[in-house]
Structures are given as structure tokens and as C-alpha cells.
Structure 1
Amino acid sequence: MIKFSVKHPVSIAMLIGVLITLGVISLTRLGLDFFPDINYPSVTVITQYQNVAPEDIEELITKPIEGAVSTVSGVKKVTSISAEGVSAVTVEFEWGTNLDFAAQDVRDKVALIEDYLPEDASKPIVLKFDISQIPIIEYIAYSDRYKLTELKDILRDEFKSFLERIEGVASVDIVGGRDLQYWVTIDLEKIAQYNLSFSQITQFIAMNNFNLPSGKVDYKHKNILLRTIGQYNSIEDLENQVVGYTPKGTPIFLKDIGKVTIEEEERLGYAKLNNKESIALVLYKQSGANTLQVSNRVKKAIKTINAKYPSIKLVESFDQG
């Protein structure tokens, strides 16, 4: 090999040049990830037991689960947290462990002791740690023109659907703000007078409101609060909804048996910018997608969609790319 190199210096130089060129090309195409797609070898078992003290959670749930999962092959370490109403047992495995098989082994071991756990406790849930659950990029949105409820509607109806069409984007979550919803306060005495049932009322509403999931019924004194969302465009639309008929065939309207109001829903998340309530756009990438490329596509798309709504300001708060 040495003699060949000495006798053919031009050929060797060309070969080295080709290798360097290929190396440079490969380097420029190498994917960059702040959090690479690594399956950390850990599995967590979550069990809820509401309104139970941490000490009892430890004795009744955490310790039995720890004992069961510690016998799984390849376990390196078992740690746990026992808090009021919840137990979390984390099983760490040796590097190279197939997490799919390991998680199934943990499920099998936990299943063997489920009958020995408190009857009122929830069924243990086994979760694998997935690095793709970490957002790829996050924006904080605010506006001096739109109310928070209006801003959330625009982000959900325009931005979310637009961004989720980007190659490599798995999903877009909207965090913060509150949606407006219709609340129907039903008078129990009146529905008894008309011989109506709650199921009848919800059925009539659901038939004309295709976005109604299942409804939420809260008993409160002599009233029932029925939560609805969807196709109704005004309070009048809902008030004039037929919910039944009298024996003579006269329609019974919702306004005859209750009162309709518009209120903000319960807060499910919170986002702030400079101590001002805002709304967050949280984007997740598809597993295996190149973080840098997806991030660049998102930033380009944000400029495009934001141009249609210049009064909405977007501040980048996190970016893996």
C-alpha cells in the first residue's frame, strides 16, 4: 500500500480529495437536534388514589409496585414519588434496552399485583419517556387589538390549522386564554311541569349542535347547568331551540324552561409575557423529523400567516432549532 502511494501520488491525492468532498457534503446534510431522538431507557408507572395522604400512598401503592417492577430484567434503578392522591414509580433500565419490550414487562408485573391494590385506586398507567414530547418551538402571542377570547379563536382557526400542515410538524397546542361557551340554567320545577327529562333536553340540543361532545351537567340548588359549545351563533339561537312538545303538539322552547348566558370556560392553561396574560402556540415535531429543517419551515410559515394579522405579535420563547 505504501509503495502504491509513492508510485501513484496523483491517484492518492484525488482519492483523498473525493473523501474530503464527501465528508463536507455529509456534514452539511447532517441533522441537528438540541434533543436528539433518543429513547431514554425509563418507564414510569402512575397510579391515582384521590384524597389519600402521601404516607398511605407509599404503603398501599408505591411499595407494592416497586417490589413488582424491580424483578423486571435489565432494571438499573427504581425511584418513586408518593404525593397526596398519586404515586409515580420510575424504572430506569440499562442503555440498549428495548423500551417497547421493557414497558410490556412492567405492565405484566404490575398486572400481577393489581388485585392487591386498593379498590378505589385508579388502574396503574405505564408511560414511556419520549423525547418527541418536548416542543420543538414555542411562541407567545398577544394583541392590543383583539380580546383574549378573540385572539384564541384566531390562533385556533387560522394559525393552528395552517401550521399543522407543515412537513414534519406533528401537532400544535394552544395554551392559555379562555373560550366563550353557552351555559343553560334549567329550572327543575318547569321541566317537571312540562314532563321533560334531562336526557330529552340534551338530545334535542345535541341534534342541532354537532360540536357538542357529551355535555356537562352540574347540580346546583334547583338548577342544572348544561355546558354546550358549537354551532349556535347567539343566545337567541339557543333560547329558541325546541326541546320537546306538549301533549297537544305545541313546541317547548329552551327559554320556556331555563335561562341562557355566555360565560368563559374554566381555565385549562396559562401563558404570560412580561406579566401580561397571553396565549402560547406550542409546536411538536414528528418523530424522526429533522429539528433544524422543521424549525426553519415553521419560522417561514409564521411570517406568512402573521402577515395576514399584523396586529397579532408573536414572540419566540423556545426553539430547539
Structure 2
Amino acid sequence: MIFSAIALFGIISLYNLPIELMPTIEGGKISIITYVRGGMPSMEIEKRLAKLLEENLSDISHLKHILTVSKEGENTVVLEFEPEANMDYASLEVRERLAKIKDEFPREAERPVIFQFGYGEFPIIAVTLISNRYTPEDLRKLAEDFLKEKFLRIEGVARAEIVGGREEKIMIELDKRKLAAYNLSLQEILDIVGASNINLVGGKINQRGTKYLVRCLGEFKTIEDIRNLAIKVSEEGSLIRLKDIAEVKADFLEPRRLSRLNIHPAVTIYIYKKSLANTLKVCEAVEDLAHQLSSELGEYTYTIVSLNRAEFVKKAINQLKISLLIGSILAIGVLFMFLREYLTIVVLSLSIPFSILFVFSMMYLAKLSINTLTLAGLCLGAGMLLDSSIVVLENIFKRRESTGRLNKTDIATASEEMSVPIFASILTTIIVFLPLIFVNKEIQKLYSGIALSITFSLMGSLG
């Protein structure tokens, strides 16, 4: 009954274990990206934004290093934490700190984007949009307004990055002569435009036991709202609007990165997964959604999966699975060459799948993933799985030869006689991995998978 339960739990664990190419190493890093409108130079961003962030984030709990990169229109802060830091709590603390200082940001700064990433912070799959009718700008708008949110809803997706096409912007080109004629400065225009493009809370109204929240909606909805923005009242009493002193038009930002597919302009959505998500499941879900969207977008626009790391992961994992299977078959073949007793070989061979299922169960409880290192450890352990069974079997044969008979009591006695030597033999193998306790956390996380998979294999062979 116990063996059946372990086997069943092992099968369930096998289908729920994350599958990766390499072990997931929690990098202990949080990145904060802040975009700044107006093309502010890097020196000014460093002075007005980067130093403010460094001063307020430098004393966060378990912070190891802080790296700041400032460039035109963008500031990035990378916080690296100690291995023992709880990244969920660290992320929450970062958000609280940013909420306290948001009023001190330059008015040109947009809301900071915070995301947590580990060792393998690379896109796992990319979906490319191409069309023989629409421009890359149209495709980018489609991706930003409609497609990006769909990909973010997939379980295990951390973020989606859009590359290609030019972003929309509103250009306000001021006439210097008219500014001078109306005695207006550039800063005044900036202040008025910035103060007008916001929504404010207007308070509460209590009426007959019902509470109403009042909001003042002032955000611009169309380009005409911007053109008709009141700037000043002239001496004659007439209202001076923005369109009277400037040309307001829709335009595009200069592209930072371009995307092409088979020399044709395109827009690509790069998908990043969460650190503990299953690469194969996330890629499969994204691929299914991409095919579904291709049929929904019509005959002029379609999607192509231009990058899929899951294919390489599948190949690597499948090769190791084949090696594990071949190793098990060779081990059984060696038994057949020496024992030449079919029933005995079958009994011994059953210890291999049971031990492997036991390993998967323990890997699931230990929160490990199926990767090249854990499977390599399992391949190494596969050759050791039969050692305990062979030693016990040899002692049973000796007892049969010495007594001339064999019953359940003799088998149990022969097995008990070998329990201490087998346990000592397995312990000497496991003790080799003890030095891993004394290395740093990163090395432990990288190599603990192969050590634990071998240890679990040997533990399973005791059954």
C-alpha cells in the first residue's frame, strides 16, 4: 500500500514539476525603470532622479548592491539582495519607498515600472506581428492596446515587451514670437499643460444616507482638447488658447529598436516568464494564443512565433531522458549476463522505476525542477539503484546454499543482515555532498539539484 502511494505521488509530481534547461537561481534582484518625457539628458536624470532613488532605497533590508544606469529619457535602478532575502517582502518594501517619494520626482518622469527577475532574465518566446496592409506603427498600437494584455493574462508570464514600430506622441511646437507677444514663458506652458492633464478627487457628498464620491476629470481625451486648452486671458479679455500660440499635431517618437522578419518591418512581443514558472507550459500557452490571434486578426495581419526556447529545452531534456532509459536497460542487461534468472531480474528491475518515482516525489517536495543537472544526477544514481538490491539478493542466495531451503523467514533474515552495511554504504556516498553546506548560497542553488537527485535515488533504493 505504501509503495503504491509513493508511486502514485511520484507520477503526479512528475507532471507538476517545472521543466527548465538549467536550475532556477533566484538572482535576488529588483529592477526599477523610470521613463522621462521630453528627452531629458542623462546628466540631468542622474541629478534629479537617480540620486533621489539611491538615497531612499540604499537602506532597504538585506540589500547587497545597488546599480543605477541613467541615459537619455530613461533611468534604471537594479537592486541586488542577499540570498536569504525574501523577494516578495523586498518588492513590497521597494513599492512602499517609491510611494513615499513619488511627489519628489521630476514632473516629466512617468510612473516607475518595477519587476523582479532572476538568473535567466531572457525572453523565452517571441511573437511577431506582420501585415501586408498596415504599417509597423499600426501594428504597435494593436499590440499595446489589445494583444499585450492577453499575453500578460497567461499564467506564468511576468511581462511582455514590445519592439518595433514607433510610439505615438503629441508634438506641441510653440511660436516664439507669439509667446513674446503674450508675455508667456516655456515653463508657464509646461505647468499649465501638466496641471490640466490630470484627474482629481473632488470630495464626498452625503445625501439621504448615501455617500457619493466626486471626481474632477481633466485628462485629455483627444488632440482637440489639447488645442483648445486655455492658457491665459489677454488684456482685452479674450481667451488665449494653446492653438493660438502653438501647432499641436500627432507624431511619432524616434524608434529605439526595430524589428524585422525576413527583411520586412514587423512588431515583436517578447514574453518573459516568472522565475518559478514552467517554461514548456508557458511557451505552449503563448503559442496557442498566438495561433488563435492569427485567425482573429484577419487575412491581412498574422502572427508568427519567431523565438521559442522551449524547443531547445525539450531537445536537451529528451536527450537526458533517453540516456537515463539506455542506462537502465544496460544495468538490467548486466544483471542478465551474470544472474540468468528471469524472475530475479524482473524483481530487481522493478526497483528502478520505483526509485525514480520516489526521486520525483522528493524533488517536488524539495521544490526542485527537472533540468539538465537534476536529470544528470538521476542518470548517475540509476547505476547505483540496483546496488542495494544485488547485495541483499546475494545474501539470500548464500543463505539458500547454506541451509538448502528458502522461505519468507529466511528472506527477511537475510535482508535484515544487510541493512546496516547497505545503510553505511549509502551514507558514505551521500556524505560526499556535505561540503555544499559550506559554500555560498548561489553555488548551493546551482549544484544542490544534482546532489539531491543522487541522494534521493539512493534513498529510494532502500525501499
| Match in the other structure for 1:313 | 302
Matching of residues 263-282 of structure 1 within 5 Å: 263-282=251-270
TM-score by length of 1: 0.57
Q: Using the alignment, how far apart are the partners of 1:304 and 1:210 within structure 2?
A: 38
Superposition pairs of residues 49-198 of structure 1, within 5 angstroms: 98=83, 130-198=118-186
Distance 2:130 2:85 in 1: 41
SS at match of 2:254: coil
Q: Return the alpha-carbon distance in structure 1 between the equivalents of residues 24 and 283 of structure 2.
A: 15
1:233 to 222, 226, 241: 222
Offset at residue 159 of structure 1 (A): 0.4
2:160 partner SS: strand
Higher helix share: 2
Q: Distance in 2 between matches of 1:284 and 1:129?
A: 9
Measured after TM superposition, the shift of residue 268 of structure 1 is: 1.8
Distance verdict in 2 for CA 1:35–1:308, change over 3 Å: farther
Corresponding residue for 1:7? none
State the SS of the aligned residue for 1:133. coil
Asked if structure 1 preserves the Cα contact closer than 8 Å seen for 2:152 and 2:159, the reply is: yes
Aligned match of 1:27: 14
- Superposed CA RMSD in Å reads 3.2
| Residues 1:237 and 1:129: Cα distance change in structure 2 (over 3 Å) | closer
Q: Which residue of 1 aligns with 2:33?
A: none
- Provide the residue aligned with 1:258 in structure 2: 246
Q: Report the alpha carbon displacement of residue 163 of structure 1 after superposing the two structures with TM.
A: 1.4
Mapped to 2, the partners of 1:233 and 1:298 lie a distance apart of 34
The secondary structure found in structure 2 opposite 1:131 is: coil
- Aligned residue number for residue 382 of structure 2: none
Distance across 2 between alignment mates of 1:210 and 1:155: 26
Q: CA deviation at 1:275?
A: 1.1
What stretches of structure 1 of length at least 5 have no aligned partner? 1-13, 43-49, 52-96, 102-127, 212-229
Which of 25, 32, 55 is the equivalent residue of 1:38?
25
Whole-angstrom distance in 1 between the partners of 2:281 and 2:5:
27
Q: Deviations over 1:8-40 (max 9, x none)?
A: xxxxxx766665554444333322113541247
Count of residues in correspondence between the two structures: 211
Change (3 A) 1:284 1:210: farther
The separation in 2 between residues aligned to 1:231 and 1:35, in whole angstroms, is 48
Which is further off, 14-23 or 291-300? 14-23
Cα distance in 2 for partners of 1:129, 1:166 equals 17
Give the Å deviation of 1:304.
3.6
Identity of aligned residues (%): 29
Deviation at 1:186, TM superposition (A): 0.9
Runs (4+) off by over 6 Å? none
Partner of 2:232: 244
**8 Å contact from structure 1 (residues 139, 316) kept in 2:** yes
User: Structure 1 residue 99: deviation in Å?
Assistant: 7.8
**Which runs of 5 or more residues in structure 2 are unaligned?**
30-41, 44-81, 87-115, 200-218, 311-463
- Cα distance, 1:271 vs structure 2: 1.0
Deviates more, 1:178-187 or 1:198-207: 198-207
CA distance in 2, matches of 1:100, 1:315: 40
**Alpha-carbon shift at residue 208 of structure 1 (Å):** 4.2
Flag the structure with higher strand content: 1
- Output the amino acid matched with 1:312: T
Deviations 1:118-156 (A, max 9, x none): xxxxxxxxxx98334211211111111222111111110
Letter in 1 for 2:156: G
1:224 aligns with none
Superposition deviation, residue 177 in structure 1: 0.7
What one-letter code is carried by the residue in structure 2 that aligns with 1:199?
A: Q
Could you tell me how far apart the structure 1 residues matched to 2:192 and 2:159 are? 34
CA contact (8 A) 1:34 1:320 kept: no
The verdict on how the C-alpha distance between 1:41 and 1:184 changes in structure 2, with shifts beyond 3 A counting, is: closer
Alignment deviations for residues 26-73 of structure 1 (CA, whole Å, 9 cap, x no partner): 33332211354124799xxxxxxx99xxxxxxxxxxxxxxxxxxxxxx
Which of 189, 208, 213 is residue 201 of structure 1 equivalent to? 189
* The structure with more radius of gyration: 2
The aligned amino acid for 1:317 is S
C-alpha distance in structure 2 between counterparts of 1:165 and 1:28, whole Å? 22
Is 2:18–2:276's contact at 8 Å kept on the other side of the alignment?
no
The CA distance in 1 between the partners of 2:132 and 2:222, in whole Å, is: 25
